[in-house]
Amino acid sequence: MSYLPPEFFNEILWALPVKSLCRFKSVSKKWPYLISDPHFVKTHLSRAQTLGRTRLLADGEIVEVYSLGKNSRTSVKSGFLFPNKYYKMGFLVKVGVYLNGTIHWAFEDLDGSCVIAAFDLVEEKFKTLPPPDNVLEGDCRYTLGVCGRYLYLAADKSDCLKEFCVMLEYGVKRGSLS
Amino acid sequence: MASSSSSSSTQVKKITLKAADGKHFEVEEPVAMEMETVKSFFVGNEDAMKDMVVPLLNVSSEHMPAILDFYRNHSEFRKRTPPPPAEEVKAFNEAFLENKSDEQLMEMIMAANFLNTKELLNFLTEAAANRIKNKSVEYVRAFFGIENDFTPEEEARIRAENEWAFDGLDED
């Protein structure tokens, strides 16, 4: 059996989701360096974007943040905490929503308030967006989506109340209920 | 599988390519020009096309028919209006990869790299990535022929750091 020369490894690794990359850091001593190399991370990101698969795309950015790039990991922690379950299932990736070069998540904070977290792909920074005024809170499941150029937030409260908000201008809270 | 190579009666100019093992392939010019390596061979030397044989040092004749088939079909996909339905492209790509061993896939990756065609290279590397993305670390070592040079302690530590990434793997 002949193998691929090492100079081709990157060509394949660039096409992998981040979950696989994190696992494959255990392949050999060289691989963590291969995978954390800034050039690798950049290429992986742009490659993930050209693949045009939204989920993969989200894959890319997120873990580049909290797993492949150490700095951003700190800023996640200082700003807010993603719910634990998101990590466990590799879920963080799946619930992220892409708009305007930014990935967004919505979830309930520890104190029950609504958090809309955003990761700016250009600045490679996390921030939070102000949630819509009077959004339903407490035992709520939040779901984000994109409709055209707008981000919308659906809140599903355990007592059956449901709410749907469209964030009209990016980063500006505007609620419209139904 | 859709292989619509033009019949010999048409007037399409042909270029002769020579695989690594010496076998010759007569290829329609537009198909041959899909390969940057062949294209650059004739830059400023277009007259030579008739009687020149282009040596493809890193491409075995075993893979030439499949590779040429890829170029023919994908260039047709690109040109077609309206664009072909995604299922048609997907069906071609799946048939292309069917029955290809990992080793054949790797040889074709090297061939695509030598031929300098991004589309084929990306397609093949993505296919390789799909074959390993849900596999264990041990499987990937075997896939690439890599030796585990971690001490058991080191490996345990790096695995623990990435524990979440070990859920839900396919069987090797």
Q: Is A1 on the interface with B (CB under 8 A)?
A: yes
One domain for residues B23 and B104: yes
Contact B158 A22 (CB under 8 A): no
One domain for residues B53 and B22: yes
**What local confidence, expressed as pLDDT, does residue B80 receive?**
93
Comparing A36-50, A129-143, B44-58, which segment has the lowest mean pLDDT? A36-50
* A6-17 average pLDDT score: 89
Contact B126 A15 (CB under 8 A): yes
**DSSP 8-state symbol, A3:** -
In angstroms, the CA A89 to CA A109 distance is 18
Domain around B20? 14-132
C-beta atoms surrounding A146 within 10 Å: 14
**What local confidence, expressed as pLDDT, does residue B61 receive?**
96
**What local confidence, expressed as pLDDT, does residue B109 receive?**
95
Chain B residue whose CA is closest to A17: B133
Q: Each residue of B66-79: pLDDT tens digit?
A: 999 999 999 999 99
In a domain, B6, yes or no: no
Asked whether the predicted pLDDT for residue A102 surpasses 90, the reply is no
C-alpha closest to that of A18 among B165, B130, B145, B82: B165
Share of chain A above pLDDT 90, in %: 8
The answer to whether the beta carbons of residues B18 and B53 sit under 8 Å apart is yes
One domain for residues B26 and B93: yes
Asked whether the predicted pLDDT for residue A89 surpasses 90, the reply is no
One domain for residues B149 and B128: no
**What local confidence, expressed as pLDDT, does residue B152 receive?**
96
Query: In the numeric block, which tokens belong to residue B104?
Result: 């054949």
In angstroms, the CA A60 to CA B6 distance is 42
Comparing A41-45, A107-111, A121-125, B21-25, which segment has the lowest mean pLDDT? A121-125
In a domain, B3, yes or no: no
One domain for residues B20 and B91: yes
Between A154 and A67, the more confident residue is A154
The rounded mean pLDDT for chain A is 67
Q: Each residue of B124-149: pLDDT tens digit?
A: 999 999 999 999 999 999 999 999 99
In a domain, B105, yes or no: yes
Q: Identify the band that residue A131 occupies on the pLDDT scale cut at 50, 70 and 90.
A: confident
**What local confidence, expressed as pLDDT, does residue A100 receive?**
66
**What local confidence, expressed as pLDDT, does residue A19 receive?**
77
CA distances B93 to A33, A53, A143, A157, B103, Å, are 33, 17, 35, 45, 18
User: Strand, coil or helix: what is A98?
Assistant: strand
Q: Each residue of B65-120: pLDDT tens digit?
A: 999 999 999 999 999 999 999 999 999 999 999 999 999 999 999 999 999 999 99
Q: Identify the band that residue A84 occupies on the pLDDT scale cut at 50, 70 and 90.
A: low
Q: Evaluate the omega torsion of the peptide bond into residue A32 and state whether it is cis, within 30 degrees of 0.
A: no
Q: Identify the band that residue A30 occupies on the pLDDT scale cut at 50, 70 and 90.
A: very high
Contact B141 A4 (CB under 8 A): no
C-beta atoms surrounding B34 within 10 Å: 21
Decide the pairing of beta strands B24-28 and A162-167.
Answer: unpaired
* A88-107 average pLDDT score: 64
One domain for residues B45 and B58: yes
Q: Each residue of B155-164: pLDDT tens digit?
A: 999 998 888 7
Q: Which among A15, A27, A90 is the nearest to B129, CB-wise? A: A15
In a domain, B18, yes or no: yes
* A139-150 average pLDDT score: 80
In angstroms, the CA A165 to CA A133 distance is 10
One domain for residues B28 and B67: yes
C-alpha closest to that of A99 among A37, A156, A151, A164: A151
Q: Each residue of B33-54: pLDDT tens digit?
A: 999 999 888 887 777 777 788 9
In a domain, B144, yes or no: yes
- Looking up residue B99, the CATH number of its domain turns out to be 3.30.710.10
Between B6 and B79, the more confident residue is B79
Comparing A104-113, A164-173, B97-106, which segment has the lowest mean pLDDT? A164-173
In a domain, B149, yes or no: yes
Contacts of B165 in chain A (CB under 8 A): 19-20, 22-23, 90
Nearest CA distance, B156 vs chain A (angstrom): 9
Asked whether the predicted pLDDT for residue A12 surpasses 70, the reply is yes
The tally of domains found in chain B comes to 2
Determine which helix (DSSP H) or strand (DSSP E) holds B54, and give its type and residue range: strand B53-55
The whole-model pTM stands at: 0.64
In angstroms, the CA A61 to CA A39 distance is 14
Q: Where do the structural domains in chain A lie, given as residue ranges?
A: 1-94, 96-178
Between B22 and A110, the more confident residue is B22
Nearest CA distance, A32 vs chain B (angstrom): 9
Contact A26 B110 (CB under 8 A): no
One domain for residues B127 and B147: no
In a domain, B61, yes or no: yes
Comparing A120-134, B55-69, B129-143, which segment has the lowest mean pLDDT? A120-134
One domain for residues B122 and B147: no
Edge-to-edge strand list for the sheet holding B24-28: B24-28, B14-18, B53-55
The rounded mean pLDDT for chain B is 89
One domain for residues B92 and B153: no
User: Strand, coil or helix: what is B168?
Assistant: coil
**What local confidence, expressed as pLDDT, does residue A75 receive?**
34
